[in-house]
Chains A and B, each alone.
Chain A
Amino acid sequence: AQSVTQLGSHVSVSEGALVLLRCNYSSSVPPYLFWYVQYPNQGLQLLLKYTTGATLVKGINGFEAEFKKSETSFHLTKPSAHMSDAAEYFCAVRKAPGYEKLTFGTGTRLTIIP
């Protein structure tokens, strides 16, 4: 079965500082990996995804993530935090093609300090 672990339920960074949100996965087969963002009272929005190919994936709003098979990790980064990045971030995994179920982590709430 697939699962994800997000280390740190709350992360605070100063505006302009590096954002690093951690995600480790467990999968018996090559996974598809995703990061979603959820703003208050809104649905989830896809930030980026890894399926196959290049292990460094760029997403929207300046975020990127690197798939590291040896470390079973898919950490999310952004070089310079902006106030508008304050939100809840979810890492998710699913099996390769043909399997529809997404398994989400418990989320990391990102707070930006002015």
Chain B
Amino acid sequence: DTGVSQDPRHKITKRGQNVTFRCDPISEHNRLYWYRQTLGQGPEFLTYFQNEAQLEKSRLLSDRFSAERPKGSFSTLEIQRTEQGDSAMYLCASSLGGELFFGEGSRLTVL
């Protein structure tokens, strides 16, 4: 199965630490998305790439958050100086412009 892959699946960190999540999209999908999902809520859009270009960023993506997709393939989402409010599931999705295919998510717990 070559679906969307996310790593790590779970991350527990202390407040103030930096964390990085990786997303490997479905091969040849040129669009890649990051969403955040907190308990009891639907996924919230964070950012979107078309190939290596980051075309849209949500206001939710504060200056502590940065996402990259350097070669238009995998993407990383880094959170600096984590806060307890960053605890959430971070979802990655990819597409060719139609249906979004989601990974299983990376769950972040900030202590």
What residues make up the interface of A, taking CB atoms closer than 8 Å to B?
Answer: 9, 36, 41-46, 49, 90, 92, 100-107
Contacts and interface: CB of A to CB of B under 8 A. Distances in A.
Interface stretch (B14-22, B43-51, B66-74): B43-51
Nearest to A49: B99
Given A102-B100, A103-B45, A106-B42, 11 more contacts: A41-B104, A43-B104, A44-B43, A46-B99, A49-B99, A90-B42, A90-B43, A100-B48, A101-B45, A102-B43, A106-B41
Interface string B77-101: 0000000000000010100000110
Contact of B33 (A9, A46, A100, A106): A100
12 contacts: A41-B104, A43-B91, A44-B91, A45-B102, A92-B42, A100-B50, A100-B55, A101-B45, A101-B56, A102-B43, A104-B42, A104-B43
Interface residues of B, number: 21
A100 B102 contact: no
Q: Which of A44, A90, A101 has the most CB of B within 10 A?
A: A44
